[in-house]
C-alpha cells in the first residue's frame, strides 16, 4: 500500500484516458447530470434567499485562514480541551500510521466488527481495507457508502458518493450482495431505504465500536461535529461503547460560535438544505451517555505539505461540501472515478496533487477548462482556477514533456520579437490544408471541429497598409 | 487619451476582422487607436498550459505602459493580463516587473468594459438586422465579471433580434489546450453548447472571445449547422451605411 492510502488510486491517475471512457458511458452521464443538476438548483435557490451569502463566504474563508496561519496553536488548544473532557488524542503523520493506530485501538477492545459513519478522511487513508487486512470488518452505515461497499465500488462524489448509480442498479446490488435482502424488492426509493434500514438496524444494536470522521473540530471546547442527513451517523456516534474519530488537522475551527457561519454555509452548499437534518456534537466523554471510550486521531497525510504552498494552501479551507463538483462541466461529463482519487472534481484536482505532490498526479491540474464556476460557488472562496494554473506550472517543471516543451519553446521564440512574429504569421496560411484533418496532436481538434479558414492577410498587414 | 489596441495573437493571426471591427468602433467614437507593432501575445495560452513566460509579460508591459488605456477584444486575454501577469512576474522573482505589470493591467480593458466604463456609452450606433444570440464566455462572465455590458451594447443595436441562449452560463468546452489534452470531454461539452445554439434559433452566435468562437464555430461548421459565429465587435461595428459584408 502506498503511504497515502487511497488518496490516489494509481500513481499518476490517467485522467484523460479515464475521462474518454466515461464520456462514452451514456448511462453514467445521465445519472451524474440528473443528480448534480438537482443539487445545483436547490443550492442556487437557497443562496438567492440568503442576503448575506457573500459576507458569509468571506467570514468562512477568514476563519479558516486564521486556523491555517495558527494551526500549531489551535491543534494544541484542541488537544488540551479534548483531553480535559476525557477523550484520548492521537497524532498520525500519514495513512499507514492513522490506520495502525485505529487498528490497535480496536484490538484493545477485543471486538472484530465495527460500524462506520461516512467519512472522507477514512476513505482517504483506505481504513476499511487496512482493517480488513488485520481481521476487522468495518460496516459502512451511510446508505450510499453501504451501496458502494456491497458492490465493491468506490465513491464518485464527496457528499453523494453513489451518485453514479441509479435506483435500478441499486436494487440489483442489494439483491446480489446484501446478506438478507427482502423478497420482492422493487426499485422504489422507499423500499430500497427500508431494506437498508433493516440490514443496518441489526448492526447498530449489536456493534460496540464505531469509527467516524468529523466536519468540524472545535479548538475552544475540544468537541467534534458530524453533519449528516440520515441519522445513521448519530446511531454510530451514540450507541457503541467505543468511538474512534479520524480527523484531518485542517478541520479545526477556533470557537464554538464559528459554527454559526459554517452551519449556514455547509448545508446550503452541500445538499441544498437550510440545515443538516442531523448535527451531532460530542465533547470528550459524557458520563453514562454515549460512548465511554472516545479517541480522536488527528491526521496530517499531506496536509502540512499543502500548507507549505503559498498559492495552494487555500485548498485546506475546504469543508468538503462538493458544490464545486456539482457545477463543474467536466465532472458532469466524466463522473468522479475518472479522477482516480478519493477527492474528485475541481477541489480534488488541486487538493490531491497538493497533498501527494504534483509529480504523483500530474494530469489532475489539467482536468479543467478553467471556466471558474467552482470558484463562484465555493463557500470558503477557494480560487480553484488560480491554484490549478499554479499546479500546472509545477507539473510542467516536475515532469518534462518532450513534444509539448518543444511546441511552447517554438511559440516562445516566435512571439519574442516583431520580426519573428511577422514571419510566423505567414505560416498561418498553411492551416488551409489541414482544416478538416490535421496531423496529431491537432487531429484531436479536427476530429470534431474544423479549423478556421485562414485570412488573406494578418491584422497587422492590414493595419500597416491602412496607415501607409 | 492615448488608446492602444491589443489585438491578441489569435486575432492578429487568424481573425483580423475582429481587430478591424474594434478599430472601426473606437474611431467612430472619436478615438485614434494605435496598434504598436511590437505586440505579440499576452502569454495566456502558455500560462494555462503550465508554461509561465515572464518575457511575454515584459513585452506586453514594455509595449503598452506608455498608453492611457489598452483595449482588447478578448475577455480571456484581458483576464490573463489582469489576473496572471503579476503572478508570473512574481514567480520569476521580478518584483519590479510585477509592479509595472499591475499598473499596465489596471488600464487594460476588454472591449465591452472599455465602451461602457471608460467611454460611458452602451450605444455605439450599430445596425445589424439579424437574429443573434450571445454566449457569455467563462472568462468574461466569471473572471472579468463584465456582467450585462455586452447585452446592453447588443440591445441598442438597431434591427437586431437578440434571442436567449439556453444554459448560457455553461462552459463551451474550449479551455485552450484543454481541448487537445482532454479532447473527448471538450467535445462532449461542445456538443451540448451547439445544441443550445441551435435551440436558440439564432442565425449568428456572438461572443467577446474569438477563441471560444473558433471552437464552437469549428463544431458548427463540421455539422453544417448553418449558424455563423461573429465577434461582438463585428456586430457593433456594423452600420446601415457600412453593413458587415
Give DSSP secondary structure letters for chain B.
--EEE---HHHHHT-HHHHHHHHHHHHHTT---B--TT----SHHHHHTT---HHHHHHHHHHHTTSSEEEES-HHHHHHHHHTHHHHHHHTT-HHHHHHHHHHHHTEEEHHHIIIIIS--S----B--SEEEE---HIIIIIS--TTHHHHHHHTSBT-EEE--TTTTS--S-TTTHHHHSHHHHHHHHHHHHHHHHHHT-SEEEES-HHHHHHHHHHHHHTT---EEEEHHHHHH--SSS---
Q: What is the pLDDT of residues A404-414, one digit of tens each?
A: 999 999 999 99
Interfacial A residues in 300-329 facing B (CB < 8 Å): 329
Taking an 8 Å cut-off on Cβ atoms, the answer to whether B170 and A329 are in contact is: yes
The CATH code for residues A15-303 is 3.40.50.10420
Taking an 8 Å cut-off on Cβ atoms, the answer to whether A389 and B48 are in contact is: yes
User: Residue A2: which pLDDT band, with cuts at 50, 70 and 90?
Assistant: low
- What stretch of H or E contains A211? strand A209-212
pLDDT of residue B244: 84
Does residue A13 have a pLDDT over 90?
A: no
pLDDT of residue B19: 98
Q: How many CA atoms lie within 13 A of A215 on its CB side?
A: 25
Taking CA–CA distances from B169, the nearest residue in chain A reads: A373
Q: Average of pLDDT values for B18-31?
A: 98
CA of B172, closest CA in chain A: separation in Å?
9
Taking an 8 Å cut-off on Cβ atoms, the answer to whether B185 and A386 are in contact is: no
Taking an 8 Å cut-off on Cβ atoms, the answer to whether A23 and B184 are in contact is: yes
What is the secondary structure of A288-328 as a DSSP string?
Answer: TBS-SEEEEEEE-TTHHHHHT-TTGGGGGG-----HHHHH-
A328 backbone dihedrals φ, ψ, rounded to 5°: -80, 120
CA of B14, closest CA in chain A: separation in Å?
6
pLDDT of residue A1: 40
- Using CA atoms, how far apart are residues A150 and A427, in angstroms rounded to an integer? 59
Supply the mean pLDDT for chain A.
96
- Using CA atoms, how far apart are residues B220 and B197, in angstroms rounded to an integer? 9
| Secondary-structure class of domain B131-237 per CATH | alpha beta
- Using CA atoms, how far apart are residues B113 and A170, in angstroms rounded to an integer? 51
- Using CA atoms, how far apart are residues B80 and B100, in angstroms rounded to an integer? 15
Q: Average of pLDDT values for A445-449?
A: 95
Q: What is the pLDDT of residues B160-200, one digit of tens each?
A: 999 999 999 999 999 999 999 999 999 999 999 999 999 99
Residues of B in contact with A18 (CB under 8 A): none
Cis peptide before A441 (omega within 30 of 0): yes
Domain ranges of chain A: 15-303, 412-467
Q: Hey, of A324, A371, A409, which one would you mutate to test binding to chain B, going by the most B CBs within 10 A of its CB? A: A371
Taking an 8 Å cut-off on Cβ atoms, the answer to whether B142 and A408 are in contact is: no
Of B138, B185, B187, the CB nearest to A372: B138
Q: Average of pLDDT values for A231-259?
A: 98
Distance (Å) of CA A348 to CA A40, A58, B87, B114: 18, 22, 23, 37
pLDDT of residue B35: 98
Q: Average of pLDDT values for A430-457?
A: 92
User: Residue B76: which pLDDT band, with cuts at 50, 70 and 90?
Assistant: very high
Degrees, nearest 5: CA angle A41-A43-A47: 120
Of A20, A396, A450, the CB nearest to B218: A450
B162 backbone dihedrals φ, ψ, rounded to 5°: -90, 115
Rg, C-alpha atoms of chain A: 25
ipTM of the complex: 0.97
- Using CA atoms, how far apart are residues B188 and B184, in angstroms rounded to an integer? 6
Note whether A53 contacts B: Cβ–Cβ < 8 A.
no
- Using CA atoms, how far apart are residues A27 and B86, in angstroms rounded to an integer? 44
- Using CA atoms, how far apart are residues B182 and A176, in angstroms rounded to an integer? 36
- What stretch of H or E contains A252? strand A252-253
SS3 A113: strand
Taking an 8 Å cut-off on Cβ atoms, the answer to whether B181 and A366 are in contact is: yes
pLDDT of residue B240: 93
Q: Hey, of B20, B183, B193, B224, which one would you mutate to test binding to chain A, going by the most A CBs within 10 A of its CB? A: B183
Taking an 8 Å cut-off on Cβ atoms, the answer to whether B180 and A421 are in contact is: no
Rg, C-alpha atoms of chain B: 18
Contact A116, A138 (CB under 8 A): yes
In Å, the largest CA–CA distance within chain B is 53
Of B41, B46, B143, the CB nearest to A372: B143
Taking an 8 Å cut-off on Cβ atoms, the answer to whether B51 and A393 are in contact is: yes
Q: What is the pLDDT of residues A407-443, one digit of tens each?
A: 999 999 999 999 999 999 998 888 888 999 999 889 9
Q: How many CB pairs under 8 A join A and B?
A: 178
Taking an 8 Å cut-off on Cβ atoms, the answer to whether B14 and A390 are in contact is: no
Q: Average of pLDDT values for B206-228?
A: 97
CA of A304, closest CA in chain B: separation in Å?
22
Residues of A in contact with B138 (CB under 8 A): 369-373
Local structure of residue A432 (DSSP, 8 states): G
* pTM to 2 decimal places: 0.97
Domain ranges of chain B: 3-118, 131-237
Interfacial A residues in 331-360 facing B (CB < 8 Å): 333-334
Amino acid at each position: 500500500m502506498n503511504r497515502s492510502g487511497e488518496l490516489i488510486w494509481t500513481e499518476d491517475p490517467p485522467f484523460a484516458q479515464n475521462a474518454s471512457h466515461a464520456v462514452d458511458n451514456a448511462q453514467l452521464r445521465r445519472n451524474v447530470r440528473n443528480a448534480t443538476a438537482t443539487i445545483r438548483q436547490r443550492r442556487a435557490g437557497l443562496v438567492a434567499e440568503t442576503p448575506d451569502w457573500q459576507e458569509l463566504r468571506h467570514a468562512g474563508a477568514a476563519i479558516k485562514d486564521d486556523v491555517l496561519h495558527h494551526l500549531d496553536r489551535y491543534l494544541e488548544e484542541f488537544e488540551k480541551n479534548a483531553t480535559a473532557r476525557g477523550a484520548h488524542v492521537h497524532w498520525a503523520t500519514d495513512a499507514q500510521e492513522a490506520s495502525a493506530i485505529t487498528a490497535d485501538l480496536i484490538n484493545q477492545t477485543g471486538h472484530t466488527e465495527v460500524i462506520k459513519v461516512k467519512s472522507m478522511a477514512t476513505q482517504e487513508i483506505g481504513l476499511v481495507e487496512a482493517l480488513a487486512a488485520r481481521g476487522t470488518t468495518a460496516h459502512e452505515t451511510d446508505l450510499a457508502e453501504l451501496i458502494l461497499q456491497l458492490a465493491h465500488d468506490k465513491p464518485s462524489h464527496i457528499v453523494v458518493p453513489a451518485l453514479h448509480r441509479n435506483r435500478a442498479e441499486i436494487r440489483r446490488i442489494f439483491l446480489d450482495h446484501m446478506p438478507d435482502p427482502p423478497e420482492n424488492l422493487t426499485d422504489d426509493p422507499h423500499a430500497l431505504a427500508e431494506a437498508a434500514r433493516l440490514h443496518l438496524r441489526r448492526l447498530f444494536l449489536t456493534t460496540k465500536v464505531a469509527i467516524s470522521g468529523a466536519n468540524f473540530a472545535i479548538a475552544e471546547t475540544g468537541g467534534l461535529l458530524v453533519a449528516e442527513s440520515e441519522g445513521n451517523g448519530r446511531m454510530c456516534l451514540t450507541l457503541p461503547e467505543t468511538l474512534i474519530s479520524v480527523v484531518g488537522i485542517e478541520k479545526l475551527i477556533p470557537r464554538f460560535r464559528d459554527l454559526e457561519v459554517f452551519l449556514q454555509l455547509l448545508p446550503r452548499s452541500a445538499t441544498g438544505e437550510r440545515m443538516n437534518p442531523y448535527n451531532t456534537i460530542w465533547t470528550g466523554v459524557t458520563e453514562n451517555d454515549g460512548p465511554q471510550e472516545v479517541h480522536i486521531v488527528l491526521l496530517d497525510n499531506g496536509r502540512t505539505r499543502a500548507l507549505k504552498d503559498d498559492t495552494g494552501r487555500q485548498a485546506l479551507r475546504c469543508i468538503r461540501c462538493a458544490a464545486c463538483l456539482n457545477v463543474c462541466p467536466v465532472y458532469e461529463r466524466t463522473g468522479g472515478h475518472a479522477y482516480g482519487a478519493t477527492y474528485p472534481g475541481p477541489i480534488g484536482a488541486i487538493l490531491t496533487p497538493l497533498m501527494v505532490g504534483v509529480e504523483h498526479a500530474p494530469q489532475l491540474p489539467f482536468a479543467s477548462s478553467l471556466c471558474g464556476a467552482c470558484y463562484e460557488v465555493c463557500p470558503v472562496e477557494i480560487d480553484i482556477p488560480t491554484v490549478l494554473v499554479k499546479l500546472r506550472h509545477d507539473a510542467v517543471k516536475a515532469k518534462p514533456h518532450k513534444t509539448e516543451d518543444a511546441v511552447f519553446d517554438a511559440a516562445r521564440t516566435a512571439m519574442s520579437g516583431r520580426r519573428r512574429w511577422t514571419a510566423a504569421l505567414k505560416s498561418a496560411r498553411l492551416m488551409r490544408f489541414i482544416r478538416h484533418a490535421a496531423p496529431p496532436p491537432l487531429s484531436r481538434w479536427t476530429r470534431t471541429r474544423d479549423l478556421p479558414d485562414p485570412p488573406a492577410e494578418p491584422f497587422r498587414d492590414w493595419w500597416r497598409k491602412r496607415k501607409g | 487619451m492615448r488608446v492602444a489596441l491589443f489585438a491578441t495573437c489569435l486575432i492578429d493571426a487568424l481573425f483580423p476582422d475582429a481587430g478591424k471591427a474594434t478599430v472601426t468602433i473606437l474611431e467612430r467614437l472619436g478615438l485614434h487607436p494605435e496598434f504598436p507593432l511590437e505586440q505579440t501575445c499576452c502569454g495566456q495560452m502558455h500560462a494555462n498550459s503550465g508554461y509561465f513566460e515572464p518575457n511575454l509579460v515584459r513585452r506586453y508591459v514594455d509595449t503598452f505602459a506608455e498608453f492611457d488605456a489598452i483595449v482588447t477584444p478578448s475577455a480571456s486575454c484581458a483576464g490573463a493580463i489582469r489576473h496572471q501577469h503579476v503572478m508570473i512576474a512574481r514567480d520569476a522573482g521580478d518584483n519590479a516587473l510585477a509592479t509595472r505589470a499591475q499598473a499596465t493591467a489596471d488600464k487594460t480593458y476588454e472591449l465591452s468594459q472599455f465602451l461602457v466604463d471608460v467611454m460611458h456609452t452602451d450605444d455605439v450606433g450599430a445596425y445589424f438586422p439579424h437574429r443573434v444570440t450571445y454566449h457569455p464566455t467563462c472568462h468574461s462572465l466569471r473572471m472579468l465579471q463584465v456582467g450585462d455590458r455586452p447585452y446592453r451594447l447588443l440591445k441598442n443595436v438597431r434591427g437586431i433580434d437578440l434571442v436567449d441562449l439556453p444554459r448560457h452560463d455553461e462552459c463551451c468546452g474550449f479551455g485552450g489546450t484543454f481541448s487537445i489534452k482532454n479532447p473527448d470531454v471538450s467535445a462532449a461539452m461542445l456538443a451540448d453548447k451547439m445544441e443550445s445554439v441551435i435551440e436558440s434559433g439564432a442565425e449568428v452566435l456572438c461572443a467577446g472571445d474569438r477563441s471560444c468562437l473558433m471552437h464552437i464555430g469549428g463544431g458548427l461548421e463540421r455539422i453544417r449547422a448553418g449558424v455563423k459565429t461573429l465577434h461582438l465587435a463585428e456586430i457593433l461595428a456594423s452600420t446601415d451605411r457600412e453593413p458587415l459584408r
